Amino acid sequence: MMTNAELQTRLKKRKNALLGSLWNSPAGHAKRDDVRRRVRYLSDRIDDLAIAASIRRISVFVSYSIDAHDKCLLVERIAREEFSFEVITGFQELPGGRSNTLGEVKRRIASATGFLGIMTPDFQMPIDMNSGGDRWCPSIWVAEEKGMALGMEKPFHLLVDERVHQNFFLKTSPEQIHSRFNDESFELMARRALERLEQKFNDYLLS
């Protein structure tokens, strides 16, 4: 079965061949009208395929700390195999060995359809807190990237390790866009988060 891109290429070649025959052969009016109709049909079909391809190219920026790399790999596998989402991260290498600057990370978040943050314990607070879970803080980079995504009003979801203190997400993000997890429940919660993001994407496309 041909992919969308392969079918577009095949139809474009056929359209170009018809255009060539239209201008290079002394066909009668009836023949020329038939060729023009076929060219218009092919043009409409190519446009339809291009629109369908752009809608299916849903991408999710996954924000995580380096210690949560295995969790990101699991999210990436589920996103690609079960949802056909492309996954973008701030750790992906740039051509020519260039470094991933803050501006590059911001550009990647802006290019993505949505944002999924994975907040895992990165370091402990120097003082105790009276409520909200343990004294663990998430990665500073994850917090920065979360703020960028919120500022861009991206479809958004947070996966938060239950040891991370609530001040790092409840004060800046509505409670309905986060899910708490532990090591045993992470895969289930990751799949549910991707389902919720998919619903947000669909709602946006239909709005």
Q: What is the pLDDT of residues 23-63, one digit of tens each?
A: 665 555 667 777 788 888 888 777 776 766 655 568 999 99
**Domain boundaries of the chain, sorted by first residue:** 4-55, 57-206
CATH architecture of 57-206: 3-Layer(aba) Sandwich (3.40)
Give the DSSP H/E element, type plus range, for residue 19: helix 4-24
Instruction: Evaluate if pTM is beyond 0.75.
Output: no
According to DSSP, the β-strands at 136-137 and 123-124 are antiparallel
Tell the residue number behind the tokens 């996966």, with chain if given.
Answer: 159
Residues in Cβ contact with 79 at an 8 Å cutoff, skipping those fewer than 6 apart: 60, 62, 85, 86, 87, 194
Of 58, 66, 87, nearest to 190 (Cα)? 87
Written as six digits, the tokens of 121 are: 């314990």
The SS3 of residue 14 is helix
- State yes or no: pLDDT of 158 exceeds 60: yes
Edge-first strand order for the sheet with 114-119 is 86-88, 59-63, 114-119, 156-161, 178-181
Give the DSSP H/E element, type plus range, for residue 124: strand 123-124
Q: What is the pLDDT of residue 75?
A: 97
What is the share, in percent, of the chain residues with pLDDT greater than 90?
Answer: 34
Q: What are the start-end ranges of the H helices in 57-139?
A: 69-83, 102-111
pLDDT confidence of 193, banded at 50, 70, 90? Answer: very high
